[in-house]
């Protein structure tokens, strides 16, 4: 139970009433860490204080190794368990799941690799607490690779610049996409390597503390031992859980924002002694109109978390089928469509919750001291990472014409069957 829940609702928590609180050991284990993170969320937002300390608390608590299999030193929890914790963390501060999103994706990508020596090397490091950030995207195009892997006097270096480098400010390693002659590569470079510059110039109006700005590489030395993949950036991702993983993490984080909006609406209302339009002292908590607002917020929080949990279970099922050799390309296409469908509703409902929060009171709810606006801003930025309108069109084309759309471009790549997802 969070400090806010305990203080404002001593008999039982909000989440208990909505049957959202799981009493499993992982929830109990991380509850104090998440509560500590939540306590400083508003102050960090007000002063643009980067979340170095919260990231360290999560590392120390073992959060960053939860998905690493036990044989490499991790805890090997399921995606269903993991995304439930992501929602709790997003409720505390939605910057944190985003900061560690690339780190989690790196783990999942290794779990899909067939190279055991590669998994052994890097998953062991992750289990020991090392964190990976990303330098993949650029302002000028999704598949552009202005960063070059070059050789000078027998030594290899990185030259160039990336943007949207979420998590790099907090990372030990940076996962970089670069161009090596005629092919694209993924290579890891130590974050403190000379010539690696991580710049906090992210200027989005939400998710301000995620370090999603520039990473610059100026003759930065790199070992080819850390080059772990060659690929064609123009080719869409196939037969992979990664599209679903990255979007499911957004959905889980959005569910956390919905929970936070409910939590703060209840705490704010219970402490009020003034109702708009009612002379003298009164209690908004006894107002039927306020009851309706809180009831709607509770329903939205329940819905977004239920959507997230359902999606997580679907990804777990495909992951198990993959291990057992029961997947085909159609399996991954169907999962991507399920993910896109979950994204549509979770975005809409979270943005509604972030706006509805302000209906529990008048102008006092807009105080900068409370920073309630951060919920809408953060949800809107999360929703803008992968525009829902493109995904919605892809879903429609899939059901109508059986066309699957690539993760990167939103254009049809090959025929598929919609029958597997059609309602019974």
Q: Which of 80-84, 229-233, 340-344, 396-400 shows the lowest per-residue confidence on average (mean pLDDT)? A: 229-233
Mean pLDDT value across residues 336-360: 96
pLDDT, tens digit (0-9, with 9 covering 90-100), for 85-106? 999 999 999 999 999 999 999 9
Select from 74, 70, 36 the least CA-distant residue to 56.
36
For 19-30, the pLDDT digits (tens) are 444 568 999 999
Q: Is pLDDT of 276 > 60?
A: no
> 167 and 119 in one domain?
no
C-alpha angle 119-122-128 in degrees, rounded to nearest 5: 125
Average pLDDT over residues 64-76: 98
Tell me: do 110 and 196 sit in the same domain: no
Its domain, for residue 324, covers 242-415
Choose the final residue of a domain: 115, 131, 147: 131
Of 131, 147, 164, which closes a domain?
131
* 237 is a domain residue: no
Domain endpoint, select from 105, 131, 157: 131
Q: Is the pLDDT of residue 155 over 50?
A: yes
Q: Are residues 27 and 112 in the same domain?
A: yes
14 pLDDT more than 80:
no
Q: 324 and 216, same structural domain?
A: no
Residues 6+ apart with CB under 8 A from 33: 57, 58, 61, 63
Domain total of the chain: 3
**Residue 203, CA distances (Å) to 117, 207, 211, 212 in order:** 40, 9, 10, 9
Rounded Cα distance between 315 and 319, Å, is 6
Note whether 216 and 283 are same-domain residues. no
What is the Cα–Cα distance from 227 to 224, expressed in whole angstroms? 5
- The answer to whether 29 touches 148, Cβ cutoff 8 Å, is no
Higher-confidence position of 239 and 71: 71
CATH number for the domain that contains residue 78: 1.10.540.10
| pTM for the model | 0.90
> What number is the average pLDDT over the span 301-325?
97
pLDDT of residue 409: 39
What is the percent of the chain with per-residue pLDDT over 90, rounded to a whole number?
Answer: 72
Q: What does the pLDDT read at residue 12?
A: 37
Q: How confident is the prediction for the chain on average, in pLDDT?
A: 88
């Amino acid at each position: 139970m969070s400090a806010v829940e305990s203080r404002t609702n001593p008999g039982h928590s909000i989440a208990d009433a909505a049957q959202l609180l799981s009493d499993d050991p992982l929830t109990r284990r991380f509850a104090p860490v998440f509560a500590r993170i939540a306590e400083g969320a508003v102050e960090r937002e007000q002063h643009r204080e980067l979340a170095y300390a919260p990231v360290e608390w999560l590392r120390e608590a073992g959060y960053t190794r939860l998905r690493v299999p036990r044989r490499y030193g991790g805890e090997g929890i399921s995606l269903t368990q993991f995304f439930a914790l992501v929602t709790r963390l997003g409720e505390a501060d939605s910057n944190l799941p985003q900061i560690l999103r690339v780190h989690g994706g790196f783990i999942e990508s290794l779990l899909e690799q067939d190279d055991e020596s590669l998994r052994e090397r890097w998953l062991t490091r992750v289990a020991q607490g090392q964190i990976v950030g990303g330098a993949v995207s650029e302002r000028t195009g999704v598949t552009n690779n202005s960063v070059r892997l070059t050789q000078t006097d027998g030594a290899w270096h990185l030259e160039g610049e990336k943007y949207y480098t979420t998590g790099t400010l907090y990372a030990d390693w940076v996962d970089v996409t670069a161009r090596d002659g005629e092919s694209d590569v993924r290579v890891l470079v130590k974050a403190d390597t000379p010539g690696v510059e991580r710049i906090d110039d992210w200027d989005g109006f939400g998710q301000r503390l995620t370090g999603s700005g520039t990473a610059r590489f100026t003759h930065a030395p790199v070992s080819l031992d850390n080059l772990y993949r060659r690929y064609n950036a123009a080719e869409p991702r196939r037969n992979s859980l990664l599209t679903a993983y990255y979007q499911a993490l957004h959905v889980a984080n959005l569910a956390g924002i919905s929970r936070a909006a409910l939590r703060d609406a209840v705490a704010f209302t219970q402490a009020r002694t003034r109702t708009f339009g009612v002379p003298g002292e009164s209690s908004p908590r006894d107002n039927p109109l306020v009851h309706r607002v809180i009831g709607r917020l509770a329903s939205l929080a329940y819905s977004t978390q239920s959507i997230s949990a359902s999606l997580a279970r679907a990804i777990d099922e495909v992951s198990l089928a993959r291990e057992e050799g029961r997947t085909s390309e159609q399996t991954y296409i169907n999962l991507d469509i399920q993910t896109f469908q979950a994204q549509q509703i979770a975005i809409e409902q979270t943005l509604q919750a972030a706006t509805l929060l302000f209906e529990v009171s008048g102008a006092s709810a807009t105080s900068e001291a409370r920073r309630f606006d951060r919920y809408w801003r953060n949800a809107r930025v999360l929703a803008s990472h992968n525009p829902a309108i493109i995904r919605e069109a892809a879903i429609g084309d899939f059901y109508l014409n059986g066309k699957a759309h690539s993760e990167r471009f939103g254009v049809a790549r090959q025929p598929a069957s919609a029958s597997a997802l059609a309602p019974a």
